[in-house]
Amino acid sequence: MKKALLAAALMSAGVVAHAQSSVTLFGRLDAGIAYMNGIGTNNLGTGAGAATRTTSQTLLESGYWGTSLWGMKGVEDIGGGNKVLFHLEGSFSTATGAGPGGGELWNRWATIGMANDQFGTMLLGRMLFISNGIWDFDPFGQSNWSSASMVRGRNWPQSSNNISYQSPNWYGFDVYGQYAFSNATSWNGNGTTPQGREAGLQLTYTSALFQVRGLYDEIRNPKNGSLGGPYADTINDANVSEGPFAYSRDYMAMLNVFLGAFKVQAGYEAIRTAGMTGTAIGQPTTLDHFWGGVTWQATSAAALIGAIYHVNANNGGGNATLYTIGGSYNLSKRTLLDMQVATVQNSKAANFGLNANNPGTSVATGNPTLGKAQTGVYAGIQHSF
């Protein structure tokens, strides 16, 4: 009898422990058709060399409205108000089936940590860098043609070797911070590791009527730990982006205003380098980025969005403005249709594109030629699970 009772108690304990743990598989698939004109090309026919004229392109795309991704999240309640968490997440292309480059299965998130309702959440591992905090204040939610376009992807990177802390909500305020080690023998980085030191701090206040956020971050050059670096040969190597678009300090001030069916959003982003010398005219060391937009939730299923993004680059880098309208229609809780029309108008010294292309005049960047516009339209479908 005693053995039977003991066995029953052990079985009950196992059921309770199982009930306190959960693992969730999730994902998102995004695909559509995009048309763009004003894409730089030349007569070489190799995709190399400087662009001398422009052309157009129609393509099946993945991730224009939102990154296609999949992953797992888990939580275990260990008692005393404490939980152990993990988060694994990787991106892929629905157009080709290819995963992320560099052999990183979980290129977006690979974290483990602990959470407490009273004291907050701490995570360790790889995660989206804190500059992605612009997402909540970007009218197009950092879609492919949005705030990242005007800073060439500076505000949507991932970060390895990271420790993050998210506070609870205190009377409407919350704090979020990250600190990422270079893992080099020099604290900020010295060329022995692929990442320099990275860090950032974000303060948010949220009420029923509005939300404000201030954000500071820095990304160090892994070659020498500096906040900047020499520009790569962007005519022949379109895969290297330095200067303010890669290694710099970033200051943001952002605002959401909630007006019934309307949400008004605006922000300012100041990107600054330090110690950059000898840069040629047209190679900026600082950027000032402004944006504003309105989302109208016309019905429970349909939303319309309009936004303007503008960037000024110093040192003769010119300026550019992205004008865009679009929207989405929810076919269900998990599936939506999306559409966007956008154009980038460049000053004579600038060549910003709709996509967050690397700097330079190489055909491989996809940028327009200097001073020319780039215009596009896309329509797609997105499903989440």
- What's the confidence (pLDDT) of residue 232? 60
Collapsing DSSP to helix, strand or coil, 124 comes out as strand
pTM as predicted? 0.91
Over residues 98-122, the pLDDT tens digits come to: 998 778 899 999 999 999 999 999 9
Asked whether the beta carbons of 239 and 233 are under 8 A apart, the reply is no
Burial of 209 (0-12, 13-18, 19+ CB in 10 A): exposed
CB 300 within 8 A of CB 328: no
Q: Which long-range contacts (CB under 8 A, 24 or more apart) does 325-333 make?
A: 326/140, 327/302, 327/303, 328/65, 328/302, 328/303, 329/301, 329/302, 329/303, 330/300, 330/301, 330/302, 331/301
Distance of alpha carbon 259 from alpha carbon 276, whole angstroms: 44
List CB contacts of 255: < 8 A, sequence separation 6 or more: 137, 210, 211, 212, 213, 264, 265, 266, 267
Average pLDDT of adjacent 10-residue blocks, the chain of 385 residues: 43 45 97 97 80 94 96 97 97 95 90 97 98 98 97 95 98 98 96 97 98 98 90 51 88 98 98 87 94 98 98 96 98 98 98 94 92 98 98
- How do 302-313 and 198-206 pair as beta strands? unpaired
| Region label for 315, one of left (φ > 0), alpha (ψ between -120 and 50) or beta (otherwise) | left
**Burial status of residue 252 (CB atoms within 10 A of its CB: 0-12, 13-18, 19 or more):** buried
Closest listed residue to residue 327, CA positions, set 139, 94, 95: 139
Q: Is 7 in contact with 14 (CB distance < 8 Å)?
A: no
Q: C-alpha dihedral over 109, 115, 120, 122, to 10 degrees? A: -40
Please choose, from the candidates 282, 247, 287, the residue with its C-alpha nearest in 3D space to the C-alpha of residue 361.
Answer: 282
Side chain identity at 61, as an amino acid letter? E
d(CA 257, CA 174): 18
Q: Are 367 and 356 in contact (CB under 8 A)?
A: no
pLDDT tens string 238-296: 445 578 999 999 999 999 999 999 999 999 999 999 988 778 888 899 999 999 999 99
Q: List the domains of the chain with CATH numbers.
A: 25-384 (2.40.160.10)
What confidence score (pLDDT) does residue 241 get? 56
